């Protein structure tokens, strides 16, 4: 129900507008759009406004479903559950590749200093993974994430890695999931609610990958009350919250979020 409400919220069309839009999309790019979430959102609007009484829609696997207005909600629930990993317009849930589903976005979640208590490997129970993504230095990653509370990788360091290539290589409208370099848990999913260009540009302006509230997996991330230090719930140092006029901005070390899902 929450998913459907979010779809409905984004488009408001009259029956005539929906009919015209559907006809145009049908003749041009509707059948070939790579972003399945856009198609799902369009179909929701069409059915909600009576612009079309029935339709067929398929994805790249060739699976096609047909429905009508009377069965709209049941259909969207079925399709939505099957395609959550691509629904960047619905950022509540994103499927972590090869792993658990992660709830993304929401209000900031604060934590206390006990999260960063000393453990078996610095502030974490385990060292960084053997193979990290984006070509980052494992030695630097272990130092920053597990034996550090105040320092960061050099400003602009991420520009010497494959970060930008990876973000731009994903299908349009599909965000990248960034995983804890120690545990492999999902921590951030971006870009959400903005383009890849905007995400990369903001990160370059500040010198570090910069995430917003809507892009944080709060089940696994905390911001310490007194310092703004941003950490994983397992004790990984990630960076700091440095709010600006747009709201909270999480300035994050790429070496801290270069893990792979486990």
Mean of pLDDT over the chain = 76
Average pLDDT over residues 139-162: 97
> How far is 191 from 202, CA to CA, in rounded Å?
11
**% pLDDT > 70, the chain:** 61
pTM for the model stands at 0.67
pLDDT digits (tens, 9 = 90+) for 14-38: 444 444 444 443 433 333 333 344 4
- What is the token pair recorded at 51? 């612009």
Q: For 186, phi and psi rounded to 5 degrees?
A: -70, 135
Cβ proximity of 187 and 179 under 8 Å: yes
Record the tokens describing residue 219, joined without a space.
Answer: 């089940």
pLDDT at 29: 37
Q: What is the pLDDT of residues 64-85, one digit of tens each?
A: 344 444 454 554 454 444 333 3
Tens digits of residue pLDDT in 92-149: 555 556 556 679 999 999 999 999 999 999 999 999 999 999 999 999 999 999 999 9
pLDDT: which is higher, 57 or 74? 74
Q: What are phi and psi of 13, to 5 degrees?
A: -125, 145
Segment holding 95, helix H or strand E:
strand 93-95
* Structure confidence at residue 98 (pLDDT): 52
Cβ atoms 182, 145 nearer than 8 A = yes
Average pLDDT over residues 229-244: 98
Confidence of residue 173 (pLDDT cuts 50, 70, 90): confident
Instruction: Take residue 64 and report the two structure tokens written for it.
Output: 């096609």
pLDDT at 71: 52
Region of 169 on the Ramachandran plot (φ > 0 left; ψ -120 to 50 alpha; else beta): alpha
């Amino acid at each position: 129900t929450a998913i459907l409400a979010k779809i409905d919220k984004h488009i408001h069309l009259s029956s005539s507008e929906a009919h015209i839009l559907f006809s145009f999309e049908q003749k041009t790019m509707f059948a070939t759009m790579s972003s399945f979430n856009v198609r799902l959102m369009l179909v929701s609007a069409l059915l909600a406004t009576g612009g079309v009484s029935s339709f067929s829609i398929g994805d790249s696997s060739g699976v096609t479903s047909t429905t009508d207005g009377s069965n709209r909600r049941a259909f969207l629930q079925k399709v939505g559950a099957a395609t959550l990993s691509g629904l960047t317009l619905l950022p509540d849930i994103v499927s972590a590749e090869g792993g658990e589903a992660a709830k993304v976005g929401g209000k900031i979640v604060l934590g206390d200093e006990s999260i960063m208590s000393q453990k078996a490997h610095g502030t974490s129970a385990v060292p960084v993974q053997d193979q990290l993504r984006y070509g980052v230095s494992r030695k630097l990653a272990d130092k920053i994430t597990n034996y550090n509370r105040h320092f960061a990788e050099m400003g602009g360091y991420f520009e010497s890695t494959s970060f930008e290539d990876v973000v731009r290589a994903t299908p349009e409208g599909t965000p990248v999931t960034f995983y804890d370099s120690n545990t492999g848990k999902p921590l951030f999913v971006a870009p959400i609610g903005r383009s890849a260009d905007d995400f990369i540009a903001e990160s370059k302006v500040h010198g570090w990958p910069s995430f917003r509230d809507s892009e944080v997996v709060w089940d696994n991330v905390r911001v310490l009350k007194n310092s703004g230090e941003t950490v994983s719930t397992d004790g990984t140092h990630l960076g700091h919250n440095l709010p600006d006029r747009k709201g909270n901005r999480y300035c994050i070390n790429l070496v801290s979020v270069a893990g792979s899902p486990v």
